[in-house]
Amino acid sequence: MSVFKATRKHYNAGGVHPTTDPDNPRSQFAVDRYETHLRKLIRPGMRALDLGCNAGRFTFAMEDMGAIATGIDFAEIPLLHAKKVAQKRKSRCQFNIGNIAALPYKEKSFDLALLPQNNIYLSYQMLENLSVQLKRILSGKGMFVVIMHDELVKRAGEEALPERYDVQTGLIGGSKTIPDKGTYAYPTYFWTIAFAKYIIEKHLALEEIEQVEENRFMLVFRNKKRNGVQ
């Protein structure tokens, strides 16, 4: 069973948590945290993609900011909920089933792609693969926005840190138990700002790193030409 299929079972079993449900006020804190920063990037009519959208918390938020928003996720249960919320709100948001290993979009389909703290579920190779795809599906000068933690800041002072993860892939842990549901594959990966910057900059140009809170950062990359080559 692939990593994506195994992890999808976890998300479907977990369903929609109140803190990720765009129809629940308890989920608003995440959007509020980044709203000011995202509003500086999003323009009316901009085509925006929410990568790993779950139930659409950030997808709907980007629509509220004026974007034509699309969310993609590999878990059916959260996506079904997102579609119901869209009907209830009379939203134009689109929600697609799929995974970020093979995005089902044509060249220059989006002006902005958002990865809101989902890099923790991607290996180093997965993020590079995503960056290559985004170079194709983003418009000229389109943006890739990554919201992330830095594990070195989070784990400062832990002496056993080098034994905690696979240095080739970044893998930290591989499973998680959901009460009354069982234990499911749930791989998470060790990321730092430096690692993300190094990998993504192979394909997209870094424009800005903004510190939102003590250990929350927003990295903005552009699909710019380099040395005359797109």
**Domain architecture of the chain: domains with CATH:** 3-149+192-222 (3.40.50.150)
Q: Whole-angstrom distance between the N-terminal and C-terminal Cα of the chain?
A: 37
* pLDDT of the residue at 174: 75
Highest mean pLDDT among 2-16, 41-55, 166-180: 41-55
pLDDT digits (tens, 9 = 90+) for 183-193: 777 788 999 99
| Chain centre distance of CA 171 | 17
Is 205:189 a contact under the CB 8 Å cutoff? no
Using alpha carbons, list the distances in angstroms from residue 204 to 25, 75, 195: 35, 28, 14
pLDDT digits (tens, 9 = 90+) for 65-116: 999 999 999 999 999 999 999 999 999 999 999 989 999 999 999 999 999 9
In the chain, DSSP finds a helix count (H) and a strand count (E) of 7, 9
Greater confidence, 221 or 3?
Answer: 221
Q: Return d(Cα 93, Cα 177) in angstroms, integer.
A: 32
Q: Which percentage of the chain shows pLDDT scores above 90?
A: 70
pTM of the predicted protein model: 0.92
pLDDT band at 181 (very low <50, low <70, confident <90, very high): confident
* pLDDT of the residue at 228: 46
Q: Return d(Cα 70, Cα 92) in angstroms, integer.
A: 9
For the record, the structure tokens of 63 come out as 């629509």
Is 146:119 a contact under the CB 8 Å cutoff? yes
Phi and psi at residue 83, in whole multiples of 5°? Answer: -65, -35
Burial class of residue 152 in the structure, from the number of CB atoms within 10 Å of its CB (0-12 exposed, 13-18 middle, 19+ buried): middle
DSSP H/E element including 110? strand 110-116
Contacts of 110 (CB under 8 A, 6+ apart): 47, 48, 49, 70, 137, 138, 139, 142
For the record, the structure tokens of 159 come out as 């002496």
Q: Return d(Cα 153, Cα 214) in angstroms, integer.
A: 9
Instruction: Summarize the confidence of residues 20-38 as an average pLDDT.
Output: 93
Is 73:14 a contact under the CB 8 Å cutoff? no
Is 145:210 a contact under the CB 8 Å cutoff? no
